[in-house]
Amino acid sequence: MTLWLATGCVLVAAGLVALLLHPSLMRKLLGFNVMGGGVFLVLLAVAPRAAGGSADPVAQALLLTGIVIAVAATALGLLLARRYRAATGRSELPDDEAAGTDD
Amino acid sequence: MNPLDAITWLLLAAAGTFFTAGTVGLLRLPDTLTRIHALTKADNLGLGLAAAALMLQAGSWAGAGEIALIWLLALLASATAGYLIAHRALDERD
Amino acid sequence: MNATDAIVATAAVALAAAVLLARDLRAAAMSFVAFGLLLALIWARLGAADVALAEAAIGAGVTGALLIDAAAQLAGPGRRGGRGPTALAVGLLGGALALVLAHGAVSLAPSAGEASRLVAASLDAAQIVHPVTAVLLSFRAYDTLLEVGVLLIAVVAAQAAPPVPRPPLHHDPVLARVAGVTVPLAVLVAVYLLWAGATRSGGAFQAGAVLAGALLLARFAALPFDPLATRPVLRRAMLALGLAVFIAVALGAGGAAGAVLAYPAAWTGALVLVIEAALMLSIAASLVALFGVGRPQ
């Protein structure tokens, strides 16, 4: 259990750091997905296992829902990134200094 | 160790060798077309050996048949993917 | 824990690094497909067969295809960040988060397995054989209903923006031939997954993802079979079907059984199958709509 828990935590941290540091929108989405995978791994690592060796059914149901929602969010995010690129020609959000000064 | 398990181990070791060869080809060969060539040949053979190893452990004719069918489907998919990537690489090169 | 698990876990972290640090977006997207498949292996190792199927179909398959498609269109430097003091601070923040998360999870009181015991005890009363299906469609059916609603909202949001121009798809005869064999096979697998979900691992989500893959393959290969593009009414019907049927059963059958989302005992199997079939069609149509690929000319 500790091995998978540690792996999940590393994935969450790595995904979050990538999400924060990469300027490119698609790389942020990739970081978001890796982070999602890590969160699911942490969830399943702490869930108890039933007698026959299969994982906890409630945790599995939560994960199934999570995976579907993650793909919907990723698809929407990618569509928005493509739309942004078509509208402005950029695939990164502008820096705060360049965006002007309005509080 | 009974002979069936020994043969399984042998087949898996051979599969591992072929997969490693394919990966070395992917990393060391110069351009996309040569890499696809190495990958599709070595990896498909490796997959076939791994499938053969698992078929020996399947425990029933139906299970072994399923694994063989899965191998054929994977073969079809990877051959098509290799063809499409190579076609695209050829277009990009021109 | 044994050597295999250690190797798989190390490979997962290495693949995650490959995804996040890849030199260009296409390489990152392809590495992500491999990462998703390795995750599916990990789920299988942890005994979560349904999640493994869903991860392979949805997480690696559909998400991977979406990313590869987007990488082709968002081509550009795909700059990687991470230099200077800000990067160091964020890196330390990430490391701290990992430690806090691990500590929090480890110091949880070991779960007494209350939930799975309750599920196992209530399976007979729910008249459903497979525990995960029972949780998804009976005990926590409300969550699944809302999830389908969220998926529909995402589709509406995706369709609200004007379509992004994309480069025309090439027509390839080899792909058409292979798709002619693979698409019917994929539809068969989807229906089987749906049917098997009642008693084994499987169910509407995995089946919907495989069906979406079949429909997308038919579209990319320019097969004459593309019902969703040629019949917009069918498309809208399929998108709304899942939520509509689910609500109808929730209120209708629930009215007969005494509470919303309760199934009358004799009808449970049939009702669950009807709901799951509608969900499968809806999820497939939603994933195809979210892909944003029009019919090739």
- Per-residue pLDDT reduced to its tens digit, C170-190: 788 899 999 999 999 999 999
CB C48 within 8 A of CB C22: no
Q: What is the pLDDT of residue C297?
A: 43
Write out the residue range of the structural domain in which residue A38 sits.
2-48+55-88
C83-93 pLDDT tens trace: 788 888 888 99
A41 is a domain residue = yes
Judged by average pLDDT, the poorest of C33-42, C150-159, C247-256 is C247-256
* Higher-scoring residue by pLDDT: C72, B52: B52
Taking the domains of chain C in order of start, what are their residue ranges? 1-75, 129-297
pLDDT in tens, C199-214: 888 889 999 999 999 9
* Nearest-by-CA chain C residue for B72: C182
* Digit-coded pLDDT (tens) for C71-129: 888 876 667 776 788 888 888 999 999 999 888 888 887 776 777 778 888 887 778 88
Q: In chain C, which ranges are continuous DSSP H helix? A: 3-21, 25-45, 49-54, 63-73, 84-106, 114-126, 131-134, 141-160, 173-196, 204-220, 227-230, 232-257, 268-291
pLDDT at residue A51 is higher than 70: no
At A69, which CATH number? Answer: 1.10.287
Interface test with C, best of B80, B91, B92 (most C CBs within 10 A): B80
- The set of residues, in sequence order, having a beta carbon less than 8 Å from that of C201 and lying 6+ positions away, is C49, C50, C52, C53, C130, C132
- What number is the ipTM of this complex? 0.90
pLDDT at B50 over 90: yes
Task: Provide the pLDDT confidence category of residue C166 given band limits of 50, 70 and 90.
Answer: confident
Q: Which two tokens stand for residue C218?
A: 């038919």
Residue A9 lies in a domain: yes
Beta carbons of C38 and C14 less than 8 angstroms apart: no
| Cβ contact, residue pair C178, B87, below 8 Å | no
Runs of H (alpha helix) within A22-98: 25-46, 57-88
CB pairs under 8 A between B and C: 13
Q: Which domain holds residue B39?
A: 3-93
The pLDDT assigned to B76 comes to 93
User: What residues in C contact B76, CB-CB < 8 Å?
Assistant: 178, 181-182
Chain B residues whose CB is inside 8 A of the C182 CB are 76-77
Query: Do the chains contact at C174 and B80, CB–CB below 8 Å?
Result: yes
**Integer Cα distance of C289 and A68 in angstroms:** 14
What are the chain C neighbours of B87 within 8 Å (beta carbons)?
172
Confidence of residue C286 (pLDDT cuts 50, 70, 90): very high
Q: How many Å apart are CA C85 and CA C87, to the nearest integer?
A: 5
* pLDDT-wise least confident of A25-34, B64-73, C249-258: C249-258
**pLDDT for position A101:** 45
Q: How many domains does chain A have?
A: 1
C25-57 pLDDT, tens digit per residue, is 989 999 999 999 999 999 998 989 999 999 999
A76, part of any domain: yes
Q: How many domains does chain B have?
A: 1
